[in-house]
Structure 1
Amino acid sequence: MKKNKISFETTFWAHQELKNPFEVVDAFLGSENLTYYKQTLSEIVFYRSKDEIYQKECPGDVFFSYTAFRSFLRACSALQHKSKKWKVTAVSAEKRSILSLASLTIEEYENPFTVFENAFAEHSLADFEFFLCEVIHLALRPTNVEFDSDLLTPYIHVIKMLDASQLLMESQIEKLVNNCV
């Protein structure tokens, strides 16, 4: 049975349709740095509970961020299945970024694929896309609106996925050879 592949929908922000989740993450982190994405997401989550509109001077930037984050989440969804086929080698001391552990546990730092597995074991891709849509919707409203969904847990998972993705891009990744008996 053939798996249905989801489109990462990268055409708008990457100017081409990328089909490999590693390429999507590389393009995502190549278009802006990790700090920018973490700060942008934090501001969006912060503005969801304010009486002000996030980036009212240039709301088109919010749409652009939304499409990039949505593609990123779709790529992360695909990466959750890669831990059985790929192995992360250690990052050398001179290549190690200021990231260090960041939001990751030691186990997650040693195997960043577990971040994606844990996130998508707790929430579906649809849940993460709802979270993204909901926080942006609330951040772009001129009034404070009560909401009844958990927005903190998906936010924490997305921050961890950003850190794990940065670590994957800094690491050497080897494809594991199938040892069939």
Structure 2
Amino acid sequence: MLLKFFLNPESKSYLRELAEEFGESTNAVRLELNRLAEAGLLETTENGRTKVYQSNPKHPLFPDIQSMVRKFTGIDTLLEQVLSKLGKIDLAFITGDYARGRDSGIIDLVIVGEVDQSYLQKLIQKGESLIHRKIRFLVLNNKELEKLKETLKIKESIPIWGEGEKNHAL
């Protein structure tokens, strides 16, 4: 739950949504939400009959907790865990606007290898809700990558998995 609220402080959720997301009972989630709210780490607002929870950036421990959560989720470790579960991945990189330093709201992700696409789609949906950006993905094999390397502008991409330096020079 700390990840949900402290990775993205603007994230707002309500009890049933969180219970469904975490696959837990509403009672278990309610108990944790109440503890965090009583400690002042979460703020609550009423939306009709629904209580909405959000992190409290004014809490004196907010910066420390956010820092710990970010360290815990270190992007390298996170990517390694996620990508290793997807299948045999040779290379993954970001292209498009983000690779050029522009925040267009769309992240273009290219994965080279053999991937469980249904699992990837689930991860993409969760990732999009966390970062509030659309993630477009393209899965290729090595031959397809070779054909599309100019179109994808690989030299301008950001390698995030695999032999980035070697493949970056394709």
Q: Same fold (TM over 0.5)?
A: no
Q: TM-score, normalised by structure 2?
A: 0.26
Which structure has more relative contact order (CA 8 Å, sep 6+)? It is: 1
Q: Flag the structure with larger Rg.
A: 2
Q: TM-score, normalised by structure 1?
A: 0.25
